[in-house]
Amino acid sequence: MIDFRLDEEYEALRKTVEDFAHAEVAPVIGELYEKEEFPYAIVAKMAEMGLFGLPFPEEFGGMGGDYFALCLALEELARVDSSVAITLEAGVSLGAMPIFRFGTQEQKETWLPDLCAGTALGGFGLTEPGGGSDAGATRTRATLDGDSWVVNGSKAFITNSGTDITRLVTVTAVTDVMENGRKEISAILIPSGTPGFEVAPKYSKVGWNCSDTHELSFSDVRVPAENLVGTRGRGYAQFLSILDEGRVAIAALSVGLAQGCVDECLQYVKDRVAFGKRIGEYQAIQFKIADMEVRTHTARLAYYQAASKMLRGEPFKKEASIAKLVASNAAMDNARDATQIFGGYGFMNEYPVSRFYRDAKILEIGEGTSEVQKMLISRHLGVA
């Protein structure tokens, strides 16, 4: 019989992160969010807890856990704030994971210890101003000049790319063009501070205001030939496999936001009185919260199942897309309903549901839009 109960280690981790989120994140994140400040102190505390090293082996300074452990941590963080959760998600699955999955032993030994310790962050440079999901739109180029790659181009919407502790970004770049006109795309590791590597001012965003996001430009950036990550010509394919894992993580984060909306509403409807009754006594409110709980429960089961297949080494691309689609929809719908339940207070930034509403929409866009997920699901069903 299938058993969805967490074992003792997973439950202990989940409870530890839950307590941390309420004790350390909740009291300060509202002010940081309004100031659009990166939460360095919170990140440092998460680093001390070992969260950035959760799915990595101990030989590189990791905790020896797995990807599901990371997902549990992301869900609990996002119940309180998604900016903090996405900083962890991007730091692990986008910053460190490409090096762990595809890097050389030397690259792993050089970069992973600090990334696992959380004392350094890495970026994941796939999206460009003219395209993200479309590999053919990649315009950044890397030319092999002797024993160096020379990189020119730009990347857009790159998380963790401009903090004081950012140490690198791994980017996709066109390294050749085949006779049939198809682009050869490879992955190149570029350390922060390399001459010609410029980080633009941070974006003014609708949500995720404590998350660090920038456009990057590369003008004759020269790095050693050994900074090729993985196999030449396989950079885009490598990044797609990283995104498959990342979609499970984003699904977990989305579930956390959806659950946070339920949490806040359950407390609010006990206190708020309208027409002489607590609003939780009205059936309209009861049904709305019931719908929110159903969405959250269903989305959690979806990401659990995708993570289970991933950890067993089975194909999970379709399940990752289903989980990401269902969970991001749940987050967006729950945020809208929570804001409606809170009424005018839901429009005030002092209440968490206003942050949830602002943060939810990007979950239907980042790491593959909802439309891309539907395309992938259809393709796996043999429709496309």
pLDDT, tens digit (0-9, with 9 covering 90-100), for 296-340: 999 999 999 999 999 999 999 999 999 999 999 999 999 999 999
Q: Whole-prediction pTM value?
A: 0.95
User: What is the set of domains in the chain, with CATH numbers?
Assistant: 8-121 (1.10.540.10), 122-234 (2.40.110.10), 237-380 (1.20.140.10)
pLDDT in tens, 19-54: 999 999 999 999 999 999 999 999 999 999 999 999
Confidence of residue 1 (pLDDT cuts 50, 70, 90): low
The residue annotated as part of the active site, out of 34, 76, 367, 371, is: 367
Sign of CA dihedral 202, 205, 210, 213: negative
Check pLDDT > 70 for residue 133: no
Check pLDDT > 80 for residue 135: no
In whole angstroms, how far apart are CA 164 and each of 37, 38, 168, 236?
12, 10, 11, 28
Check pLDDT > 80 for residue 113: yes
Confidence of residue 4 (pLDDT cuts 50, 70, 90): confident
Average pLDDT over residues 169-192: 93
Min mean pLDDT across 160-164, 176-180, 243-247, 294-298 is at 176-180
Q: Is 18 annotated as catalytic?
A: no
Check pLDDT > 90 for residue 132: no
Which pLDDT value is given to residue 181?
78
Q: State the Cα–Cα distance between residues 53 and 72, nearest whole angstrom.
A: 14
Cα–chain-centroid distance for residue 26?
A: 20
Average pLDDT over residues 65-69: 96
141 Rama class: left (phi>0) / alpha (psi -120 to 50) / beta: beta
Mean pLDDT of the chain: 95
